[in-house]
Chains A and B, each alone.
Chain A
Amino acid sequence: MPYSTIATPEAKPVANYKMATRMEGGRLLYISGQVAWDAGGNLVGKGDVRAQARQTFQNLRGVLQAAGGDLGDLMKITTYITKIEDFPAVAEVRREVFPGELPASTLIVVRSLFHPDFLIEVEGVAAV
């Protein structure tokens, strides 16, 4: 893996994610904010944040794979949601997607995404 994980007992994450990652080689990949579009551009899971989260992470993985990588190469993800009440369901899907430790992670509640039906958007940075 072309990155290393930074940890310190003085500052601990509030959930199961890495506190920081440092790139040690490879190519730097910036992934666009992914939303719950299927391959044809149709929204998957209107009003269903769990279904949207699953599709979103599947799309994120698709971009990683197209760049020759996979989820394990992610250094950092940012999860944007529109309602804090959706966070438990999103966290559950994220645990399925990342059975071990998440990459370095940020969670932000925004006013909305670029379409009112989008409930979640996830962007990532990877070393591939």
Chain B
Amino acid sequence: MDRREILAERPVERGRGFMPGVSVNPSRLLFTAGLTGRGPDGSLVAGGMAPQARRTFVKQLVYVTDIDAYNASGRAERAKFFGSTRTASTGLVVRRLADPAMLIEVELVIDLAGSAQGKPLLEKYNVEQHGGDFYQGVIVNGGRLLYLAGQVANNPDGSVAGTGDWRRQAEKVYQNIGYVLGAAGATPASVVKETTWVLSIDSWRQHGAPVRRALYKGDYPASTLVEIPGLARGEFLVEIEVIAAVA
């Protein structure tokens, strides 16, 4: 394990709950799905995590739906959880999370101890029976990480496939993801983490989720689904970004 905290030596960075950057030697990394308060006991991370383990956190992304509610009580809970650990961090206020009642969702990248040698490239696991089409955690053992640009429903000539058509856009986005993965020597099974940004979660569940299920065939990544008010072009209904790993 070789985690370094990166400070740019600016006064603004002192005393805040996060680090401007964190770097690691990526021998064994855990990518979590967006974790929510849905667990049986309402806790953020099922099973809890020792303070020592938190020192290996690299990055967090916090999605909230109500910034005032978050500032009133969520922020303190988050600080309590992370203690003195400082991760690289991004915070966003979005329109809706997977369930309209969810107020906060957190996804993490964690540097795991131990050697990657002798282990499969990807270890996918769940810590509870959630019934969703995703794994709660995916561990990458060595290999090369592949970062895709957010994929949208564009044709090679620049036109949009399926204006106003959720199913067609979902098909095109996943087709594009497949092409890019293929060009990098990867397959849908190589996907570690997926973030799906949609203008409507209800429409996505109805029309996009079946396309997604057909692509992954049960071999899902860790995943986050977020509803936001807009994408780069008015025609885009969905944008999906993917992190994969290849040997």
Contact = CB atoms under 8 A, between A and B. Distances in A.
Interface string B135-158: 000000000111111111010101
Interface in B210-243: 228-234, 239, 241
Interface in A55-76: 59, 62-67, 75-76
B206 interface: no
B233 to A, nearest CB: 7
A103 to B, nearest CB: 8
A29 to B, nearest CB: 4
Nearest to A31: B21
Contacts of B6: 29, 31, 63, 66-67
B12 A110 contact: no
Interface size class of A (residues with CB under 8 A): 35 or more
A51 interface: no
The CB with the most chain A CB atoms within 10 A, among B176, B184, B228, is that of B184
B118 interface: no
A52 to B, nearest CB: 15
A22 B185 CA distance: 10
B26 interface: yes
Interface in A6-53: 6-15, 17-24, 27-34, 37-41
Contact of B149 (A17, A32, A113): A17
A108 interface: yes
Given A14-B152, A31-B21, A64-B21, 13 more contacts: A6-B180, A20-B183, A22-B146, A28-B29, A29-B21, A30-B59, A31-B6, A31-B20, A37-B12, A39-B12, A66-B6, A76-B147, A104-B148
